[in-house]
Amino acid sequence: MKKLRIIRPYLKGSISLIILSLVCAFIAIGSKLAIPLLAGKVINQFVSSEEVIDVEVAMILMFSLVAIGTIFRYLFDYLTGYIGAKTVKKIRDDVFSSYMHGLVKDIKSEENGDLVLRLVNDVENVQTGLVSGFAAFYDGIVTILMTIVFMFVLNWVLALIVIILTPISIVVSRFISKFNSKHFKSQAKDAGTINGFVNETLVNSETITIYDLKESKNKEFNELNEKYHADNFKANMGASIINPSTRLVNAFINAIVIIVGALIIIQDWKLGIVFLVGDLSSFLTYSANFMQPFNEISDVLAEINYAFASLSRISEAINIEKEDVDSGNLVPETIDTIKANNISFSYVPGKKIISNYSFVASRGKKIALVGPTGCGKTTVLSILMRFYELDDGKIEINNEDLATISKKDYREIIGMVLQEPWIFSGTVYENIAYAKKDASKEEVIEAAKKAQAYGFIQRLPQGIDTYISDSSGLSLGEKQLISVTRIILLSPEIVILDEATSNIDIRTEFLLAKSFDELMKGKTSFVVAHRLSTIVNSDLILVMKDGEIVESGTHKELLEKKGFYHKMYSSQFN
């Protein structure tokens, strides 16, 4: 199957273990299946004068076979479990790696909850369905093949009857499974949607409470849950039908075997073999063993179908387009100018966000981007970071096309502070030194002092060694101060601030402005700010509206024009 090609590379290095597990399965199953044959021969001795095997010897052999079968069954289960865990680890590593190396536009276009679901739930489904399920599957195949051999040894007529009628069970099982496949895929997709919705709702619980949206969100969740319930019911209903259907067919086959077997013994049909009551007893055991794997396989078919649906979703995650960050020229040692020449960009084809946008940023200059919400300020910064590629135009670094420069090399000289601070679970030191792994504690403390963050850090229980997280009780302003400290520690060539002081009080913002001025000396800086008072000292202010630059100049020049900037600035003070 095409879908199995996805998992095939992850089995490399485990082929010898797979073969060994197969050998263990043969030995374990062979030991188990030899016991009914011995038991049948013992029973025959009670209805026939011919002694085939000593009863005591037969009992010793049967106990030995039980012991051998148990040992090799344990080895088989251990090996398949080990192979499964190893395979799933590789898959999960690749999915996470794809997220880390995927294009920002692709990652941001997916729901966060669905991305997590693919990494956790879908991978677990693959382990349960494809690894554990297929272990049961080929265990069943071995049982079927060896059972056929024992059945033909006992009675070839009854063996043919069982083999001829068994496909009815397989046809029924496959028909129902094929019908269920689409429902399992819908179920997996619905689960991802619900996961994303719940995650989004809980993260924004305060906003939902303030705007009294609880009932609205509850209604929306109920609608999503109802769809999931419908698909889940169809998938589980179909799965529950498989087993009873196959068992009904198997019971019918077993009844025919009993009738024909009894006639052979009673009417003494001459088939060229000796067939007694003990042999019929053994054959019925093999007949049940022969059909039992089909029942077990039908049981895991639901899980296998579910796993295939998850495998498709995992494949989509693994095969997302990877960002090429290594190819390209080295970034110039000194960044003298950054030019945007008539650049245009759209998230959705045909719907321009940035149109015919041009500017020149010189070394040591502070460029401010201002304008109403949604005019494209943050989009320009994302383009500068090369999170997205341009539709038209180009950006030049020292007159060299930015598209020809290595993304990795270029981003190493950029420091960016976003509007929303990002704190991960770790110490304050680890959070600040995240961008500079070899930074000493003295360097971190010095950067914290410049960022006006050391005061609140000292008040924490263990100071710079205090363990924090996004939900550890720090205020938004304190989280942002830690984010700002990171960039001061890094001291990058290009500084990008996207509403970096939006969550900080006026006094701290005033103090922080001095640190930023020091940080930006001799560097190229881009600043997005809604509070226009924070960018009055900028060397160049680009006033944006509807994705275009409508005005540009210094604060004084723009006020003298009495245009759009003048209206914006005046509105903040009147």
pTM across the whole model: 0.66
From residue 197, give the alpha-carbon distance in Å to each of 149, 194, 200. 55, 5, 5
Topology alike, domains 4-318 and 337-571: no
SS3 of residue 484 by DSSP:
helix
DSSP state, residue 175: H
What is the CA 358 to chain-centroid distance, rounded? 39
Report the C-alpha gap between 528 and 373 in whole angstroms. Answer: 11
Report the C-alpha gap between 306 and 133 in whole angstroms. Answer: 11
Least confident of 195-199, 247-251, 432-436: 247-251
Report the C-alpha gap between 368 and 467 in whole angstroms. Answer: 35
pLDDT digits (tens, 9 = 90+) for 498-523: 877 766 677 767 766 777 777 777 78
Say if residues 333 and 490 touch (Cβ distance below 8 Å): no
Say if residues 555 and 367 touch (Cβ distance below 8 Å): no
Residue 1 has pLDDT above 60, yes or no: no
pLDDT digits (tens, 9 = 90+) for 296-322: 776 677 777 778 888 888 888 888 878
Where are the strands (E) in 428-470, listed by range?
467-468
| Protein fold of 337-571 | Rossmann fold (3.40.50)
Q: How many CB atoms lie within 10 A of CB 31?
A: 20
129 pLDDT tier (thresholds 50, 70, 90): confident
What is the share, in percent, of the chain residues with pLDDT greater than 90? 5
Q: Which of 375, 414, 404, 411 is nearest to 494 (CA)?
A: 414
Report the C-alpha gap between 320 and 290 in whole angstroms. Answer: 44
pLDDT digits (tens, 9 = 90+) for 214-252: 788 888 888 888 888 887 777 777 666 766 777 777 777
Query: What are the helix and strand counts (H, E) for the chain?
Result: 21, 12
Ordered by start, the domain boundaries in the chain are: 4-318, 337-571
Q: How many CB atoms lie within 10 A of CB 553?
A: 17
More confident residue, 374 or 467: 467
Residue with tokens 């001799």: 522
The structure tokens listed for 359 are 């500017």
User: Residue type at 429?
Assistant: Y
b/e per residue 222-243 (b: at least 16 CB within 10 A):
eeeeebbeebbebbeebbebbb
Report the C-alpha gap between 276 and 286 in whole angstroms. Answer: 15
SS3 of residue 392 by DSSP:
strand
Say if residues 113 and 197 touch (Cβ distance below 8 Å): yes
The structure tokens listed for 505 are 């009080």
Say if residues 316 and 97 touch (Cβ distance below 8 Å): no
Average pLDDT over residues 102-116: 72
The structure tokens listed for 290 are 């022969």
CATH class name, domain 4-318: mainly alpha
Average pLDDT over residues 359-385: 87
Report the C-alpha gap between 486 and 444 in whole angstroms. Answer: 8
Report the C-alpha gap between 191 and 114 in whole angstroms. Answer: 8
